[in-house]
Copies of this chain bind each other. A is one copy, B any other.
């Protein structure tokens, strides 16, 4: 395969016009003397936090549904994603038939009741001391990420046990103090779920997890739909953290790509109006954001460079999840997305 005279955007080497030759891996890149180009070639995207799309919900998806899930994501430029669960009885997790090449993001049940968001409070529980209690319900190899509230006494034991099993800990749905968040940070747990949603807020006398996320060197998931947080807030996070520490996620639910109406998220009823998904009490219940739109929004909200956009849409998530990808460089897998100047997707290669 040959893609000629495109603007190549690599999160490390930057932006330059050139031609890329690839099969399943990138074989050769030839820089061009030209400065003009018609299309932009970026590393294909990664979405580490997505509940569903077009009627598919991670909690109820069949093997066939997961195949469609992958196809829909490919249309969004996403080559890798973590189907995400909601807080549920642990027995429910057993029923999920995730394909072997994907891994789950387990969001709850080890979260804080006060910051439950759109998760069922009745299933919330403290984390077990050891990840092997979870293993009774789910093979550890199927778990990529677990969102956990760090204020539980058992947090550190559990989190360290997860790490030994290559499971990424993400701090989220938490009412922790700044000191508790800092303790997690100092123990090596440096990732935060959908910042700053469902986190203890920033107050100037108690900075909470929101303040810790801004001040300490955490990596932050961001839902860049302009609804979960204002465009100016996304810009503030970009200004404070810089692109190196931001991972775009959609947090999208099954209603994504479908019409407004009534849907389920786990066992909670969700109403979608004007694309905004809420519980009956007004709590936001995931998003209907598509990844390609998240990429456009982040560029618009922040005015970032394309190199930075490649970081937040792919490279940072690859580093975080230890995936071989996120680069346009010889030897890397050819997971690539071709875009026009307005960041519309023209073509995706996700061999």
Return chain B residues, CB-CB under 8 Å to A258.
Answer: none
Decide: A205 and B178 in contact? CB cutoff 8 A: no
A205's nearest neighbour on chain B, judged by CB, is: B230
- Supplied contacts A205-B233, A211-B236, 13 more A-B pairs, CB within 8 Å: A202-B202, A204-B210, A204-B229, A204-B233, A205-B230, A207-B232, A207-B233, A211-B232, A211-B233, A215-B235, A215-B236, A215-B239, A240-B240
Distance from A226 Cβ to chain B, minimum over Cβ atoms (Å): 10
Distance from A154 Cβ to chain B, minimum over Cβ atoms (Å): 26
A236's nearest neighbour on chain B, judged by CB, is: B215
Within the oligomer, what is the number of copies of this chain? 2
Tell me, in angstroms, the Cα distance from A196 to B202 when the chains sit together: 11
Distance from A197 Cβ to chain B, minimum over Cβ atoms (Å): 7
Q: How many residues of A contact B (CB 8 A)?
A: 23
Known contacts A232-B215, A240-B240; A197/B204 CB under 8 A: yes
Q: Is A333 an interface residue (CB 8 A)?
A: no
Return chain B residues, CB-CB under 8 Å to A201.
Answer: 203
Most buried by B among A201, A206, A228, A232: A232
Distance from A54 Cβ to chain B, minimum over Cβ atoms (Å): 27
Distance from A188 Cβ to chain B, minimum over Cβ atoms (Å): 20
Tell me, in angstroms, the Cα distance from A240 to B202 when the chains sit together: 14
Tell me, in angstroms, the Cα distance from A337 to B43 when the chains sit together: 56
Distance from A227 Cβ to chain B, minimum over Cβ atoms (Å): 8
Q: Is A279 an interface residue (CB 8 A)?
A: no
Decide: B236 and A214 in contact? CB cutoff 8 A: yes
